[in-house]
Structure 1
Amino acid sequence: MKKILFLFLSIFSWNLFANFEVITLGNSGGVVVGTTTSYIIRDIKSKFYLGLDAGSTVNGLEMALKKGNFKDIRVPEDSKYTKLGYIFRDSIKGYFLSHAHIDHIAGLVMSSTEDTKKNIYALPSVIDILEKNVFNWRVWPNFGDSGEGFKLGTYSYKKMEVGKEFEIEETGLYGRIFPLSHSNYESSVLIIRSGDEYFAFFGDTGADKVEKSDLLRNVWKELGQKLKDGKLKGIILEVSFPNSVEDKNLFGHLNAKWLIDEMKVLSEYSGGTENLKKLNVIINHIKPNFLKDSNPEEIIKKEIDKENIYKIKFFYPKSGDSIIF
């Protein structure tokens, strides 16, 4: 009886202090189509999600359904859509795109023919690429509300100002976008707010010391006090390569060594390394390869475990997995 009561109280207290549900739709850094970077996030008090990049939307939603997620979503009796179609069309209310590399937008492009009207939130550099190089009637029809040729208007482009908070419509969430350096190409991070709790999704990024940049440090300044106060519920951050890859060949990505080095910078703004124990980090964008006797995911996990002197909590969810923060 005591064990049952303890379990009930543990679950109750977890849900009481949880703010976000994050479902992984794709966590890979490339090669395998339908597994690349894509997540959805919601305030747990809401039934509507925001997409965080869109490398593998429908594939990931299908996997999430197979794993028993979305039990609280009911398809209206008069709907002509399957549950997969209903969730894709109705439950996702918009997308944040960190940058426009194909492994972060492929799912959005391919599924746009079946999508409903939604906002795309991004820095102007991302929207410009979508307008000129993707939705241009040569690569794909123009599903945007601006750009070349006839505009189908499925997606409303929202060019956001750096650091200025905006409402993520119909989700109960708010966001601020900050730039990142991805091998001298502009990527970005979205800091999401629900009430006074926060979650951060990082697009591809290299370490400041490698990129000769201070853009990650600027983000750690934003997140440091939130972590110290226990208000930063988690982050999604990439680690693409093992430590054996030379810095010159990282091409704007992190490895375990540089990940932990950046966590040390975060500690400078969060009251010291002891507070890093409060941090939850989903590791994203591990790049597979075709080498014999080589498993990049296992190698990177071991390297992160070895480097993790600060006892940070790391997560490695697969497509379809849900985590509550």
Structure 2
Amino acid sequence: MRILLLLCGVWLQWGAALSACGQQLPAGAAFAVVPLGVKGGLAEGNLSAYLVAAAGSTDYVCLDAGSLRVGIEKAVVNQVFPVPADEVLKRYIKAYCISHAHLDHVAGLLLNAPDDAPKHIYGLSECLATIQNDYFNWQAWPNFGNAGNPPALRKYQLQALVPQQVSPIENTRLSVQAFVLSHGSPMQSAAFLVRSQDSYLLYLGDTGADEIEKTHNLRSLWQALQPLVRRGQLKAIFIETSYANSQPTQQLFGHLTPALMMQEMAALAQLTGAPALRGLPVVITHIKPSEGNEAAIKKQLVEANALQLKLIFPEQGQLLTF
């Protein structure tokens, strides 16, 4: 009987690891991440969107939603999910966290709204106001929100996040803290610090460097992160690097280059000590897929990686674990 119980325990643990997706997760993983879109503009079917769940759970939050269905379908083909795409959209995605309301971060959400299930959309108040007033207004798109021009269909509950205040994400085992970012004055963006038990994952929406943006937003974010990095609780950083170093400063439009991204990582290292960042997974997002840009960015990042970060270049529909 004791052996049977032990075998049952092992089976339940194995089944929980498989339940988040169609593949077994590594032992000790805290998060399962499924990139539904990884590019920054141009690639209409592959725009910023990342599903995140606590390991062993099928309850995902979607961080930005530039592309949804194409990414979900690729993940199904790759056996990341054992169910059809419609079920992933309606049942697995429990909520959205939107960093800012540019179309390459919300187009998938808008286009799939008619077939989606009711759920929450989280974001800073400025972002949610744009979604409600400029998209969900019966002119750009039907009002799937819970306010604005009547009749409001109330499929989505738009929930404003207070910067740096912890908020639970409905119907998941996750919570989130939002941090203000600058995406080219006066555009506001956000970073989301997602928590599962004692583990954290940081996702940054589009952002410029403090030096260029003339702000201290990233510095404030790094200060908030430093104790988590020191204790090994931060499992990954998702950060954009849109342009190669040759991009003129006046044409960055609130984005980062490899040099600027590594400059910001160095600012974090000053707070934590460089050894604390060694081997930290850093997922590079929002690369503009113009000719030669991707190859240049990857080369420049690898060459500038004096901090020995674990650089990851995500692929649409391919499972990541942290």
TM-score of the aligned structures, taking structure 2 as reference length: 0.91
1:225–1:269 Cα contact (<8 Å) kept: no
Q: Please state whether the residue corresponding to 2:114 is helix, strand or coil.
A: helix
1:227–1:278 Cα contact (<8 Å) kept: no
What is the Cα deviation at residue 67 of structure 1?
A: 1.1
What is the Cα deviation at residue 15 of structure 1?
A: 3.0
Structure 2 counterparts to residues 223-302 of structure 1, below 5 A: 223-270=225-272, 272-289=273-290, 294-302=291-299
Task: Provide the residue aligned with 1:168 in structure 2.
Answer: 169
Task: Provide the residue aligned with 2:112 in structure 1.
Answer: 111
Q: Please state whether the residue corresponding to 1:269 is helix, strand or coil.
A: helix
| CA distance, structure 2, for counterparts of residue 236 and residue 250 of structure 1 | 19
| CA distance, structure 1, for counterparts of residue 106 and residue 59 of structure 2 | 20
Q: Please state whether the residue corresponding to 1:216 is helix, strand or coil.
A: helix
| CA distance, structure 1, for counterparts of residue 281 and residue 226 of structure 2 | 13
- Does 1:318 find its partner at 2:315? yes
Task: Provide the residue aligned with 2:154 in structure 1.
Answer: 153
| CA distance, structure 1, for counterparts of residue 237 and residue 77 of structure 2 | 25
What is the Cα deviation at residue 268 of structure 1?
A: 2.0
1:55–1:104 Cα contact (<8 Å) kept: yes
- Does 1:23 find its partner at 2:24? no
Task: Provide the residue aligned with 2:224 in structure 1.
Answer: 222
- Give the gaps of 5 or more residues in structure 2: 1-16, 18-24
- Does 1:307 find its partner at 2:318? no
Task: Provide the residue aligned with 2:203 in structure 1.
Answer: 201
Deviation string, structure 1 residues 223-279 (Cα, Å, up to 9, x no partner)? 111111110000110000000011111110000000110001111222x11211141
Kindly, what percent of the aligned residue pairs are identical? Answer: 36
**How many positions carry a matched residue from both structures?**
298
Task: Provide the residue aligned with 2:64 in structure 1.
Answer: 53
What is the Cα deviation at residue 45 of structure 1?
A: 2.5
Letter in 1 for 2:146: D
TM-score of the aligned structures, taking structure 1 as reference length: 0.90
Q: Please state whether the residue corresponding to 2:105 is helix, strand or coil.
A: helix
- Give the gaps of 5 or more residues in structure 1: 1-10, 74-82
Q: Please state whether the residue corresponding to 1:16 is helix, strand or coil.
A: coil
Alignment root-mean-square deviation, CA: 1.2
Q: Please state whether the residue corresponding to 1:248 is helix, strand or coil.
A: helix
Q: Please state whether the residue corresponding to 1:191 is helix, strand or coil.
A: strand
Letter in 2 for 1:300: I
Task: Provide the residue aligned with 1:4 in structure 2.
Answer: none
Letter in 2 for 1:258: L
